Amino acid sequence: MSNPREYLLCSGCGKQTPISQARVRKHCAYCAQIFVDSRFEAHGGEAMTAQTEIVQYHLRMAMIRTVAAYSISAIFAIIAAMIVIFAPESRGVAANLFAGAFLVLALGIAGFTRFLVKAPGLEISGTSQNSI
């Protein structure tokens, strides 16, 4: 087991670079991930306040990220519905295809990793290996 004080853990590839090497090169020896010194210090009462601010900021940004993703997903779903509703009859097939594409985008942004659409003469399904 290597001493963690002598190695820097790369956030890019997970491998350990010796600190003596990392100080000189400033990036990972394996994947060229740049090391950023993101340490901070706080003492006494300031430490608790700083910790609280960090946690609150993290929670606020996580909430904004979630709400923004669902908002964009809802907008895409509305666009898909409007394409179907307002499409001229001569462009019905193209409108359905675009509406389907927008619906798939909306589902993907909302976090669905599998979907299945069944209609007479039509079956669309999709899966994703990646989960965000």
By the criterion CB under 5 A, which residues form the site for Zn ion? 10, 12-13, 28, 30-31, 33
Cβ distance to Zn ion smaller for residue 10 or 99: 10
Cβ distance to Zn ion smaller for residue 12 or 92: 12
- The set of residues, in sequence order, having a beta carbon less than 8 Å from that of 95 and lying 6+ positions away, is 83, 84, 87
Q: How far is the CB of 31 from Zn ion (least distance, A)?
A: 3
Q: What are the tokens at 96?
A: 């359905």
Residue 124 contacts residue 100 (beta carbons within 8 Å): yes
Q: How far is the CB of 51 from Zn ion (least distance, A)?
A: 28
> What are the φ/ψ torsions at residue 17 (nearest 5 degrees)?
-110, 130
Q: How far is the CB of 16 from Zn ion (least distance, A)?
A: 9
Cβ distance to Zn ion smaller for residue 9 or 101: 9
CA distances from 94 to 7, 79, 83, 102, 107 (A): 57, 14, 10, 12, 20
Q: How far is the CB of 58 from Zn ion (least distance, A)?
A: 24
Cβ distance to Zn ion smaller for residue 35 or 102: 35
- The set of residues, in sequence order, having a beta carbon less than 8 Å from that of 33 and lying 6+ positions away, is 10, 11, 12, 13, 27
**How far apart are the C-alpha atoms of 119 and 63, rounded to whole Å?**
36
